[in-house]
Amino acid sequence: MSKVCLCRGITEEQIVEAVKNGATSFEEVKEATGAGAGGCRGGRCKGKIEIIIEENK
């Protein structure tokens, strides 16, 4: 499992699952998984999360 959000330990698989369950934006993925809610506030992972969202719409 590749971790996308290192601060919270959220994996790409968890983000893909959130997108499959209806998350369509960084904020929705953040709410569903906690990704981007760690110490960096998405500064390190937001771009990757947005790419994952686009690839899994």
Q: How confident is the model at residue 30 (pLDDT cuts 50, 70, 90)?
A: very high
Cα–Cα distance between 40 and 32 in angstroms, integer?
A: 18
Domains and CATH numbers, the chain: 3-55 (1.10.10.1100)
pLDDT of residue 1 exceeding 80, the answer is: no
Please provide residue 3's backbone torsions phi and psi, each rounded to the nearest 5 degrees.
-80, 130
Is 26 a residue whose pLDDT tops 80?
Answer: yes
Q: What is the C-alpha separation between 39 and 48, in angstroms, rounded?
A: 17
